[in-house]
Copies of this chain bind each other. A is one copy, B any other.
Amino acid sequence: MPRRLLAVLAVLLAVLLRPAVGDEGMYPITELSKLNLKAKGLQIPVSEIYDPKGTGTSLIEAIVHLGGCSASFVSPDGLIITNHHCVFGAVSAASSVQNDYLTNGFLAPARGDEIPARGMTARITEEMRDVSAQVLGAVKPDMDPLARAKAIDDRIAGLTKEAQAELPGKTIGISEMLAGQSYLMFISTTYRDVRLVYVPPRSIGEFGGEDDNWVWPRHTGDFSFVRAYAGKDGRPADYSADNVPYHPRRFLKVNPNGANEEDFVFILGYPGRTYRHQSSYYLAYEEQHRMPHVADLNQWQIETMEELGKGDRAIALKFDSRIKGLANTMKNYRGKLDGMRKLGLTAARRDEEAALQKFIEADPGRRAAYGTVLADTAKIYDEMAARFQYEMALDSLASMSTLLRAASTVVEAAGGAKPAAPAPGRGSANLFAAYHEPAEVRFLQKLAEMAGRLPQGQRIAPIDERFGGDFSAENVRRHVEAGVAAATLTSQEALAAAIKQGPEAGAQSADPFIVLARDLAPLQRQLRETRQRRTAELNKLSALLIDVRQQYLKKAFIPDANSTLRFTYGRIRGYSPADAVIHKPHTTLDGVMEKTRDEAPYNTPQAVRDLARARDFGRYRLPKTNQLPVALLYNLDTTGGNSGSALMNARGELVGVNFDRAWAATINDYAWNEAYSRSIAVDIRYVLWVTAKVGKADFLLEEMGIRGNR
């Protein structure tokens, strides 16, 4: 008893004496020296992470931007670790019925067996230059917002071109850090030959699937290994059998002992987008209009496809990927809406702005400079809210109907307007991948219903004309069915043939969808121009708003995430997601077995089941509990794009691979908070255990310098 008590006491003391750590912030690498990281727990000099003047190497040279994900080098021979979901597309492309690498996993027994990861490139950020003065030098005080935005864009293009001439072979990007205030140039090298090395079976790498997405406790082995190749001269090259493994200037040391509760950890990666400095009007628009609308519409689409796919596996498979995308967004938005409601985020921001307005008006100089910023911002969002149903209907027309999307592609090729909707995945190659006529009919009915409900003054004339103004279910059904029956672009082949026929085909076709696409094009162009104008105005207003808020709050803002290299730090730490519930920061293989079923996404491979039964955890066994760690939770500030980021300990050693956030942390995009902002990594111990014991790829552990693996 006394020994046990002493042990508990030691833990207690550690907890009571622990430094308060973890802070809002995806810090630009250029700002690390301001953070006093030594006091926070970092045990290496900041110059080890990034040394602007240094001649040696620093950790950022081990950090890779891999497609939309983050990743890191873990060997001198260019071995890269990232998430399974980051290589999903490439593995899928490399798979066939005979070699189903996606389902069964993939291991290249030797370097010569590594196969190209189609479409993947590895970019390493090497240098950052502050170009704020040059960029803003293009702005004249009397410019209107559109002219101002164009001047900035032109100057950025010019600076980029100059730098490219100066630095041949480098990738140059200039990013706006604080809206209309600060700009950084990023100089990087992009390696174009990336190959698959080890990918665990999908039932490990995607364990829990869509069910567990955004969920803690999590049990997903979401990691994979790829390798960057270079020409024989060590420089970027297109794929060639003659290429050689790239030798990075720096790679991360892998720490096979992982990290424990309350350890200091940090992440270097490429977070995508956050919206922390936006006005209450933006938040209200997202909360009351855009997110609930999109979430509901996605849910409707998912339910419709699930209903149609019920009882027909082939159709269900067709819808699988589309449902997945819609569900991911829906779940993220529902999480955000839940968080906004619980936190009263919009009201709090509004209260802050009321105080801010008083602060502005208390001083004549401030009043002159910022007096109407909030009111002008409100006006833009008021306009967006007033025209919301119309704009969403136009967007949905451009995105929900496959036939209309195909038709727009032809119209666009014929010189019509570029459709406002996002591009259909990777090129139009997959446009018909999820096409199923009964679903198309339902979607078109839904679109007609949406258009039919629009208020006077916001009607979509081409749609009203189609239905003769009669939006009764019966009339809509009849018109939609007749339209679909008369459609000609109903397959990828038909679409390709139409595009091949040249611009005239599109301009002259009588296909009802091509005609409709042609009629809608001017409205979509108009909407696009409206949005450009709003963006330009908001950019100018944002610059002013951030400016005066920084004065008012007496602090320098950390720029919102914008897909550039960032640093965030904190601790391995659990949290309380709800009254009476505590979530601990580590999951274990026992939890994998608790969730295991005989069906995806919980169909754990037999090898794992056998190892779990035998409790064969090798050196990764936690001695006290005889368990194997799987995933870990920490209070760092991450968002989409941080997928695949290296999670490092106080000494900069790799202890996990970041891949998701907990449900409550979907709200991170608007606000970070110690109470609920938690991100999720796969524990390096699970990575190494799976690679060695399931993948039988001990040689990869050796390459990473892990000895005595068993």
Contact = CB atoms under 8 A, between A and B. Distances in A.
A233 interface: no
A12 B8 contact: yes
A578 B8 CA distance: 23
Contacts of A216: 580
A217 B587 contact: no
Contacts of A5: 12-13, 16
Contacts of A13: 5
A588 B578 CA distance: 11
A581 B580 contact: no
Given A5-B12, A342-B594, A594-B342, A582 B582 contact: yes
A580 B16 contact: no
A217 B594 contact: no
A409 to B, nearest CB: 37
Contacts of A584: 580-582
Nearest to A582: B582
A368 interface: no
Contacts of A335: none
A580 B217 contact: yes
A445 B12 CA distance: 64
Contacts of A585: 580
Interface string A101-142: 000000000000000000000000000000000000000000
Interface residues of A, number: 27
A586 interface: yes
Nearest to A597: B341
Nearest to A218: B580
A9 B13 CA distance: 10
Contact of A581 (B4, B9, B581): B581
The secondary structure that dominates the A interface is mixed
Contacts of A579: 217, 219, 587-588, 590-591, 594
A9 B585 CA distance: 24
Interface string A577-616: 0111111111110110010000000000000000000000
A39 interface: no
A152 B683 CA distance: 64
A583 B580 contact: yes
A16 B582 CA distance: 21
Nearest to A342: B594
Contacts of A574: 580
Contact of A217 (B9, B12, B578): B578
Interface in A338-357: 342
A20 interface: no
A429 interface: no
B217 A581 contact: yes
A1 interface: yes
Given A4-B16, A5-B16, A12-B8, A591 B580 contact: yes
Interface in A153-179: none
Contacts of A594: 342, 578-579
Interface in A212-267: 216-217, 219
A683 to B, nearest CB: 12
Contacts of A580: 216-217, 574, 583-588, 591
Contacts of A4: 16
Nearest to A594: B579
Interface centre among A4, A342, A578, A590 (most CB of B within 10 A): A578
A345 to B, nearest CB: 15
Nearest to A589: B579
Contacts of A16: 1, 4-5, 8
Contacts of A588: 579-580
Contacts of A342: 594
Interface in A1-27: 1, 4-5, 8-9, 12-13, 16
Nearest to A631: B580
Nearest to A9: B9
A16 B578 CA distance: 27
A579 B207 CA distance: 15
A588 B591 CA distance: 28
Contacts of A590: 579
Nearest to A4: B16
Contacts of A586: 580
Contacts of A217: 578-581
A162 to B, nearest CB: 53
A46 to B, nearest CB: 31
A357 B582 CA distance: 45
A261 to B, nearest CB: 11
A587 to B, nearest CB: 5
A594 B344 CA distance: 12
A53 to B, nearest CB: 43
A680 B306 CA distance: 37
Contacts of A12: 5, 8-9, 12
A10 to B, nearest CB: 12
A583 B583 contact: no
A683 B578 CA distance: 19
Interface in A182-229: 216-217, 219
Interface string A552-585: 0000000000000000000000100011111111
Closest 4 CB pairs of A and B: A579-B591, A217-B580, A582-B582, A580-B584
30 contacts: A1-B16, A4-B16, A5-B12, A5-B13, A5-B16, A8-B12, A9-B9, A9-B12, A12-B12, A216-B580, A217-B578, A217-B579, A217-B580, A217-B581, A574-B580, A578-B594, A579-B587, A579-B590, A579-B594, A580-B583, A580-B585, A580-B586, A580-B587, A580-B588, A580-B591, A581-B581, A581-B582, A581-B583, A581-B584, A582-B584
Given A574-B580, A580-B586, A580-B588, 11 more contacts: A9-B9, A12-B12, A216-B580, A219-B579, A579-B587, A579-B588, A579-B594, A580-B583, A580-B585, A581-B581, A581-B582
